Structure 1
């Protein structure tokens, strides 16, 4: 019998190397207890993209036992090996590579990948997002191919596409343009990470509205007083998207 809702666990910024092991165990227990239909991790699996950190990440994600989509973050490109950073930025994902940018089809939702990373930029820090025409066109092509499908389309990327508040400088270059074009192409929401605190907003550009959902972190690199956290996203058969933020507390 078809389910009444598709359940997606949205996690981000695990930062293996500086991970919060208690928070990771808490997330893992939630996955095993509730068996979501899929997990989306919106980047920064590792702290410095070392082989050891990727091996630890691979072991952990393999142990979760559900379908996974991984969207790389700025920390997931080699930090010291510039040849790898520019020529093969995601090669160290290893066994996880099959999950990088893997489109996920759930009963009541479709998850489309979108890469907002570049190996270098003409500004500092290099950690902020950049929308390239090539990567945006790839995401738009997938949305166009899925346009006739009535299921909501959720786009997954690492960097939030808009500034935290309208009127503030957008740290993601061409993020406003990407937001408008993705919304026009039929995306219902954008899932992201990077900022280490959760949010759920409805924003608009060019008279197009779209949901922006950010996951926090499961690492020790906390910001704005936000504890480690992840999101549970439920999409019902009518296309309604419900987001639950779950915060880790030490008594968990």
Structure 2
């Protein structure tokens, strides 16, 4: 299974050269599945969602699973924010905010960590934790992934405040139910790390993978635009980060890690 994770596209702030390079890389890498982990638009405006829809149509024609980010809810239109906060997102990606894709080898569960009452912060509520735990527990897939927008871990002190409320309860419940990988975005700072580094006692083979911003000008801390590639087969899982090089006008593999996961079925 080849999975590409794109996050924090922030259409409305996209860089055309980076967008073109991203499309080239996605077609060259030939994924089986594409995951969009939120903040697909900058201000949840119709033309921004239309641009995102155009990107999805231009990507390899494989299943796409998308979850909303806090920027995908209207900020200045208060009526829409509280009466129809996800209308724009649903117009492009359908009604569900918590989509699920399952194959013989892989389960991917989307979670909506946003809340119209909060402009930035995310949360995992108890109902979500229980629902996802049941899906993980009952799935026969060997590789089990959860994807949301808000992170459950951070490497910079300034990002500690961005860890979603309820993250520890979610991580402990989901890893106990079989989750091996949690994907997120939001902070525009890519990294991968074992979840046991923050949450003592969780299985050592459970990791988190953070994506940078794929095409937006809103990069931070010297990190370039980036996306993630996840490769899984019966020997294990490899996580790769692909960074944009302005010099080369394209994305190149910038780092990888082999996970101690025994998954079967490619």
Give your verdict on TM over 0.5.
Answer: yes
Q: Is the 8 A contact 2:6 2:228 kept in 1?
A: yes
The answer for unaligned runs of 5 or more in structure 2 is 250-266
Contact 1:130/1:174, CA 8 A, preserved across alignment: yes
Query: 1:177 aligned to 2:169?
Result: yes
User: Are the equivalent residues in 2 in contact too, given 1:69–1:99 (CA < 8 A)?
Assistant: no
Taking the TM superposition and a 5 Å limit, the aligned residue runs for 1:100-139 are 100-121=97-118, 126-139=119-132
Give the number of aligned pairs: 239
Q: Does 1:164 align with 2:158?
A: no
Match of 1:154 among 140, 145, 148: 145
CA distance in 1, matches of 2:96, 2:115: 19
The residue that corresponds to 2:202 in the other structure is 208
Say if 2:39 is the partner of 1:73.
no
Distance 1:99 1:62 in 2: 19
Q: Distance in 1 between matches of 2:161 and 2:51?
A: 33
State the distance in 1 between where 2:19 and 2:131 align.
32
Contact 1:40/1:69, CA 8 A, preserved across alignment: yes
Q: TM-score, normalised by structure 1?
A: 0.88
Runs of 5+ consecutive residues of structure 1 not aligned to the other structure: 1-5
**Out of 121, 136, 142, which is 1:143 matched to?**
136
* Higher RCO structure, 1 or 2 (CA under 8 Å, sep 6+): 1
Judge which range, 132-141 or 29-38, deviates more.
132-141
How far the C-alpha of 1:145 sits from its partner, in A, is 2.7
Q: CA deviation at 1:216?
A: 0.7
Say whether the 8 Å CA contact 1:154–1:190 is kept in structure 2. Answer: yes
2:99–2:111 contact (8 Å) kept in structure 1 = no
- Of the three residues 8, 13, 21, the one matched with 1:18 is 13
RMSD: 1.9
1:19 counterpart SS class: coil
Counterpart of 2:258 in structure 1 is none
Residue among 33, 42, 47 paired with 2:37: 42
